[in-house]
């Protein structure tokens, strides 16, 4: 019997072809059924498309299934935000997904470690993500730290300085910067 292993790879957005895009969207639809209407047509959550994608794929063994070998995903949005009026380059983490059969095996941690390496190699100031209260502990175990979400502003169709959605938590992880800069944060676009 041949056992499958899971390998991670980073793909630039320009290298994602239509078949891979469909497979990623199928994984996102399976992991986030409430967002099926969005992910069935795009990977750009809240209109923010990733610049980079970290994929987890099974190799060897039986890789047959509706998603093929794809078992995990993280998108990384590239954004120059403003903190206290100064530009700050972040890698915005979005759409962290692990298929049900792979959960509880440390794959999310491996994906997030690979994201951290990407953030450093591409010289981002920090990683930034938004989540709900139930996911804070998951990201804390991966080394992410909470920020004061009330300091964040984003652009919406109705308001160019809107707060984050109710219940949204902001978290960061250093890449080039050693600390999160003080001051009000404007995302210079929507959240991701």
Contact 80, 19 (CB under 8 A): no
Q: Which residues contact 41 (CB under 8 A, 6 or more apart)?
A: 25
Both tokens assigned to 88: 């700050």
pLDDT of residue 59: 83
pLDDT digits (tens, 9 = 90+) for 66-84: 446 899 999 999 999 999 9
Neighbours of 135 (CB within 10 A): 16
pLDDT of residue 61: 59
pLDDT of residue 7: 94
Q: Which residues of the chain have pLDDT under 70?
A: 1-4, 61-68
pLDDT digits (tens, 9 = 90+) for 19-40: 999 999 999 999 999 999 999 9
In angstroms, rounded to a whole number, what is the distance separating the alpha carbons of residues 165 and 92? 16
Angle, vertex CA 22, rays to CA 16 and CA 26, nearest 5: 130
**101, burial (CB in 10 Å: exposed 0-12, middle 13-18, buried 19+):** exposed
pTM above 0.85, yes or no: yes
Contact 153, 186 (CB under 8 A): yes
Both tokens assigned to 76: 């990384």
pLDDT of residue 135: 96
Contact 21, 50 (CB under 8 A): no
């Amino acid at each position: 019997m041949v056992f499958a292993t899971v390998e991670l790879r980073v793909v630039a957005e320009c290298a994602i072809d239509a078949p891979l895009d469909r497979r990623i969207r199928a994984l996102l639809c399976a992991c986030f059924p409430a967002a099926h209407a969005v992910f069935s047509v795009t990977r750009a959550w809240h209109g923010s498309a990733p610049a980079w994608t970290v994929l987890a794929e099974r190799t060897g063994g039986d890789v047959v299934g509706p998603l093929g070998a794809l078992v995990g995903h993280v998108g990384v949005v590239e954004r120059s935000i403003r903190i206290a009026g100064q530009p700050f380059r972040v890698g915005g983490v979005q759409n962290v997904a692990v298929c049900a059969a792979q959960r509880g095996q440390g794959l999310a941690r491996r994906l997030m470690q690979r994201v951290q390496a990407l953030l450093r190699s591409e010289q981002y100031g920090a990683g930034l993500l938004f989540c709900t209260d139930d996911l804070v502990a998951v990201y804390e175990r991966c080394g992410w730290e909470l920020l004061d979400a009330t300091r964040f502003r984003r652009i919406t169709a109705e308001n160019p300085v809107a707060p984050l959605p109710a219940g949204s938590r902001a978290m960061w992880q250093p890449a080039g910067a050693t600390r999160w800069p003080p001051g009000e944060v404007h995302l210079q676009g929507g959240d991701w």
